[in-house]
Amino acid sequence: MDVLVIVVLVIVVALVFDFTNGFHDTANAMATSVATGALKPRTAVLISAVLNVVGAFLSTEVAKTVSQGIIREGQDGVHISPTMIFAGLVGAGLWNLATWYLGLPSSSTHALFGGLIGASIIGAGLNSVDWATVVSKVVLPALVSPVIAGVIALVATYLAYTLTKNATTHGAATGFRHGQTVSASLVSLAHGTNDAQKTMGVITLTLIAANYQDGGTGPALWVILACGLAIGLGTYMGGWRIMQTVGKKISDVQSPQGFAAETSSAATILISSHLGFALSTTHVTSGSVIGSGLGKKLADVHWSVVGRIVVAWVITLPAAAVVGGLATWLASTSVIGLVLVAVLALAGGMTFYFLAKRKPISHEDITTGSTEPTEQAEPQSAGATN
């Protein structure tokens, strides 16, 4: 099949993945704000969508990590073909849809890298992957960033409740809810700065692999714009299934906790984006919410839910790698194999969509039953069990 056709196919699939990344990760920015009532659901996703687009233009360091760091470059160019990149995106996209259906805040970042690594190993061998970069800029940030964000959120939450006498001081709860508007917006901006760049890096890698762009160069303006709009549109669709998990099931978040979690998440993500670390904003946000739950009387976390989330974190990269590898093996056999992978990917995506339609979750499932305290009421702990 003509290289140009495959490149166009990869770009389309990459933008579809970027779209799924948007609604998959809406919870990262807005789950706690919606859960506490600081922002109305549709207002929250609109703000998040716009700031995701803006954030896409702020930096390209993470995009360069993806396009220049993960896959090795040899004398004959990068050790991966557009067909392999297409297969890797299939693995990442299907994993995103599966975890979205299950309401698990898994990492779109690790799904993407897992798909690409699996495709590259099957298509070009183990040496095609720069394992040092994978460890230093993907694995280590994945281990460290949620811990750092969680500790910051824990301390900030504890101080917030202590300094405001458990948020019963006049105006304290309202003040924290207003503060969440700013902190949630910062997380959205940070998410666009980090996650939109990953798809930019994939498209740039594809153009380099197909010799349509020089090696060592960053994403073109049209790539930045397209990826920013795709992730922004996906964000506006609202990922209510995962938002329910982050905003309600990890810890019954209240406004002081939400403000602390969002502020620590935004700071961690923005600093990491500047350094070119392709970390998971999902890991950071979930770590912050756990920390904020611990900071409130050191007990307000539903550990059974956390356990399921951690399992999803651990298996995301290898699971996407397996699917990406299998898709590469099939797509590389012939044109028929490539078409078959595309058809199977579409069928898989539609299956998850229709399954979700049978058990819909809306913003009402997040906003109803909130235990957010009033100015005069003593906040109640949600307890450590479901």
- Summarised one tens digit per residue, pLDDT across range 126-174 is 888 888 888 887 788 778 888 888 888 888 887 777 776 654 555 666 7
| Confidence class for position 74, pLDDT limits 50, 70, 90 | low
Which helix (H) or strand (E) segment is 219 a member of? Answer: none
| Confidence class for position 380, pLDDT limits 50, 70, 90 | very low
Angle at 366 between CA 364 and CA 369, to 5 degrees: 90
Report whether 36 contacts 224 (CB < 8 A): no
Q: Which residues contact 127 (CB under 8 A, 6 or more apart)?
A: 72, 79
What b-and-e string marks burial along 127-155, b requiring 16 or more CB atoms within 10 Å of the CB?
A: ebbbeebbeebbeebbebbbebbbbbbbe
Angle at 21 between CA 319 and CA 106, to 5 degrees: 45
Which helix (H) or strand (E) segment is 74 a member of? Answer: strand 73-74
Q: Which residues contact 142 (CB under 8 A, 6 or more apart)?
A: 107, 110, 279, 280, 283, 313
> Which pLDDT does position 347 carry in this prediction?
93
Give residue-wise pLDDT tens across range 29-61.
677 777 777 778 788 888 888 888 888 887 767
Give residue-wise pLDDT tens across range 340-368.
998 999 999 899 888 888 887 776 766 65
> Which pLDDT does position 67 carry in this prediction?
63
The arithmetic mean of pLDDT across residues 268-272, rounded, is 79
Report whether 92 contacts 99 (CB < 8 A): no
Query: Is a pLDDT exceeding 70 seen at residue 256?
Result: yes
> Which pLDDT does position 196 carry in this prediction?
77
Using CB atoms within 10 Å of the CB of residue 348, give its burial: 0 to 12 exposed, 13 to 18 middle, 19+ buried. Answer: middle
The three-class DSSP label of residue 256 is helix
Written as six digits, the tokens of 357 are: 């339609």
Which helix (H) or strand (E) segment is 76 a member of? Answer: none
The arithmetic mean of pLDDT across residues 79-96, rounded, is 85
- Alpha-carbon distance values, 72 to 67, 318, 372, 386 (Å): 10, 20, 51, 46
User: Phi then psi for 73, rounded to 5 degrees?
Assistant: -110, 130
268 compared with 374, residue with greater pLDDT? 268
> Which pLDDT does position 377 carry in this prediction?
36
> Which pLDDT does position 374 carry in this prediction?
41
Distance of alpha carbon 65 from alpha carbon 151, whole angstroms: 27
Total residue length of the chain: 386
Residue 346 CB: number of other CB atoms within 10 A?
A: 12
Query: Is a pLDDT exceeding 50 seen at residue 114?
Result: yes
Alpha helix positions (H), the chain: 3-24, 26-36, 41-56, 61-68, 82-102, 108-124, 131-134, 140-163, 172-209, 221-237, 240-244, 255-275, 281-295, 303-331, 335-358, 364-367
